[in-house]
Structure 1
């Protein structure tokens, strides 16, 4: 069989994309190690019983970050029916659908409530039939910001960084993916309360889609740029807020808002559900959870308080 045909093409494509994800994983680990200014990441390698595995890197009790987790994985196997229904895409016409997925994900929980939590992930999926024939493939990902204090200039910084990055690839990407993010990161069980001030979110981003016209390499380059956007979009915020003083009220509110973050990840997040449904390593799937969180009973905040101003700030708006 020639290198241009059949399974060789699929194997080469998968190897190239997985190698990119590995490089991005290393870049992000180096970036957050530098940004923490003192902490180090522990690395754990794991294997998935159904095929594949991953590498988890976790920084605990750092200088700037109370917890930071950066994971990469390459997993494959038979796609369970429940996962297939949530995943979307075009599966096998008959018989079982097989999947291949690789990606990098991170969630970083700063120690100071003056610094927002940030999440980012990029991922690639393939679906094939029982004979290995490709039936669908796409990229997904995004990044969003979850502040605990109403510094509006931080939201402007984050979104302007994302907008500049998106505009280098396609004029419609930022507006489309920002609106998608605003719809996605919402606790619908709490009256559609937003998790944070948003960012960008996309899924089923395919090559040569008439909506954008980008070929496979151009789509892959965009996804790589999403993974590399935090030095422009997030680092200025950390630098600006690192030494800002705070007290017990700010810390308490941070823990309460972290509780809402946990609720979203456990109830609504697609990545968490997919990982659990496909028997991925539980410690890696739940890496996104903060080290400490709090649930108060029916909290109320005085008009004009920093808590009330933060809640008001979560309403979707044009941050550019």
Structure 2
């Protein structure tokens, strides 16, 4: 994908320049082989959106296209900054397409100097949602009529998970997404919403890191609604809970879903503010921790904690489950968030002398920023 293409999507010149310097992107097919005599067709909405992109985006363009363009711009900015921070590792760029409409860019850095694995992926999906899935969505969106027919949908999101080498440096995750359930003619959606959030998962707890991470995202939330940080922080603590372990995945952040309580442009502005805050949330922490000395015991503990990370993602995470159940899903992109290495030990007991503060925090969430 050329820089010219991204400019047509409304991406900033700096992001376009970044992409023009990347190696040629490999295009792969993410679809399962069609059944005999079955040929998958791009949706009418997807075809109309291709024309809109070529004409150039404006503030009046459909929200799905503006969110897609923002995701791709943010991906370019974040991966460029992470490569600079790593100093050695480079992102492998993998572009893919869907027969029904949509595309994606999975970017993964492995075995760098600072990052063991860092993935930043963007997906753009047009498809048909099965009636059972539509029925589940009616609980949160009662304006969706009952139906026994599949309905066209659109989803786009950016997802990032970073696993550093150094156990003193925390794993981090963020995801921001937009969903539409709509008509096939490309008109106004029947229902729409935003979702997303960010969270920090330390192996070794440095309280100042947790405070910094929460402070930056609280400032982002407060620019749009004073309720957002309070409510979404609580939601995050509840969401990233591993019931079979009786602990949370990390020290939290924010989480929200089915967000449609304001006008689309207002919520889009909120999501943009949160996405742009990520580098300020995480890079200062990495600069403090990436070169700290650590022991074999520290590394062993990191591997155990990564095992917990995997357990949550595969058993409870909504995004992972939705992705795996989506027709034509690209498994490599969905599982991009998994750590390169992890460890499970039978009947492992943590060293409470070394990690008591972390374990207490994982069992009883803390208020890192005064409300």
SS where residue 19 of structure 1 aligns? helix
- Which of 298, 306, 314 is matched with 2:354 structurally? 306
CA contact (8 A) 2:88 2:113 kept: yes
Partner residue, 1:44: 94
State the Cα distance separating 1:301 from its structure 2 match: 2.9
State the Cα distance separating 1:92 from its structure 2 match: 4.5
State the Cα distance separating 1:81 from its structure 2 match: 4.2
- Distance in 2 (alpha carbons) for counterparts of 1:171 and 1:34: 34
Q: 1:158 to 1:86 in 2, by over 3 A?
A: farther
Answering whether residue 315 of structure 2 is matched by residue 242 of structure 1, we say no
- Distance in 2 (alpha carbons) for counterparts of 1:292 and 1:81: 38
Partner residue, 2:273: 225
State the Cα distance separating 1:302 from its structure 2 match: 4.1
Answering whether residue 173 of structure 2 is matched by residue 119 of structure 1, we say yes
SS where residue 226 of structure 2 aligns? coil
Answering whether residue 322 of structure 2 is matched by residue 284 of structure 1, we say no
- Distance in 2 (alpha carbons) for counterparts of 1:250 and 1:82: 46
Aligned-residue CA RMSD (Å): 2.1
1:64-105 CA-to-partner distances (Å, cap 9, x unmatched) read 110000000110111134544565545454332221001111
Q: 1:76 to 1:234 in 2, by over 3 A?
A: same
- Distance in 1 (alpha carbons) for counterparts of 2:78 and 2:145: 35
- Distance in 1 (alpha carbons) for counterparts of 2:78 and 2:136: 28
CA contact (8 A) 2:135 2:146 kept: no
State the Cα distance separating 1:229 from its structure 2 match: 1.3
State the Cα distance separating 1:53 from its structure 2 match: 2.2
1:174-233 CA-to-partner distances (Å, cap 9, x unmatched) read 001100000001112222x10000000011111xx2xxxx43222111101111112221
Q: Higher mean Cα deviation, 248-257 or 160-169?
A: 160-169
Partner residue, 1:4: none
1:118-149 CA-to-partner distances (Å, cap 9, x unmatched) read 00111000002456562110111100000000
Partner residue, 1:98: 152
State the Cα distance separating 1:235 from its structure 2 match: 1.3
- Distance in 2 (alpha carbons) for counterparts of 1:49 and 1:259: 35
State the Cα distance separating 1:49 from its structure 2 match: 4.1
Q: TM-score, normalised by structure 2?
A: 0.78
Give the count of matched residue pairs: 306
Partner residue, 2:66: 16
Partner residue, 2:224: 169
Answering whether residue 161 of structure 2 is matched by residue 107 of structure 1, we say yes
Q: 1:273 to 1:50 in 2, by over 3 A?
A: farther
Partner residue, 2:305: 257
- Distance in 1 (alpha carbons) for counterparts of 2:302 and 2:135: 35
Q: 1:147 to 1:91 in 2, by over 3 A?
A: same
Partner residue, 1:32: 82
Answering whether residue 186 of structure 2 is matched by residue 137 of structure 1, we say no
Q: TM-score, normalised by structure 1?
A: 0.90
Aligned counterparts, 1:258-273, within 5 A: 258-273=306-321
Q: 1:43 to 1:143 in 2, by over 3 A?
A: same
Q: 1:80 to 1:189 in 2, by over 3 A?
A: farther
State the Cα distance separating 1:309 from its structure 2 match: 2.7
CA contact (8 A) 1:165 1:229 kept: yes
1:156-186 CA-to-partner distances (Å, cap 9, x unmatched) read 1111111111111111110011000000011
